[in-house]
């Protein structure tokens, strides 16, 4: 299933997180930290990054507490991949 998480851009990851009630709490260098109060989870997204490596993306999915199916639904709705 890891192949489905190729070529995610940081802006798409951030858009997904914000749609799922994550808020930007801080930035340290290239790392943006997002927090979800309901799930009590924190996710670090490196920005700017044209394509997030697969293992990094899988770690973001795991840390978010949101199922892989939800991430793939978002991707299948359609976002631009450059």
- Predicted confidence at residue 77, as pLDDT, reads 81
The answer to the question of residue 55 being in a domain is yes
User: Domain with 59 in it: what CATH number?
Assistant: 3.30.920.30
The answer to the question of residue 79 being in a domain is no
The residue count for the chain: 82
Host domain of residue 34: 2-74
The answer to the question of residue 66 being in a domain is yes
The predicted-structure confidence for 4-42, as pLDDT tens digits, reads as follows 787 888 889 999 999 999 999 999 888 999 999 999 999
Question: Domains in the chain: how many in total?
Answer: 1
- Nearest Cα to 23, choosing from 12, 8, 38? 38
pTM strictly above 0.95: no
The answer to the question of residue 40 being in a domain is yes
The answer to the question of residue 60 being in a domain is yes
Q: How confident is the model at residue 64 (pLDDT cuts 50, 70, 90)?
A: very high
Neighbours of 47 (CB within 10 A): 15
Separation between Cα atoms, residue 40 and residue 77, nearest integer Å: 27
- Predicted confidence at residue 82, as pLDDT, reads 47
């Amino acid at each position: 299933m890891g192949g489905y998480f190729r070529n995610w851009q940081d802006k798409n990851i951030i858009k997904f997180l914000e749609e799922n009630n994550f808020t930007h709490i801080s930035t340290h260098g290239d790392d943006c930290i997002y927090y979800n109060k309901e799930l009590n989870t924190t996710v670090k997204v490196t920005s700017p990054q044209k394509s997030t490596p697969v293992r990094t993306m899988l770690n973001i999915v795991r840390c978010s507490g949101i199922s892989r199916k939800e991430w793939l639904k978002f991707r299948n709705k359609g976002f631009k991949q450059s």
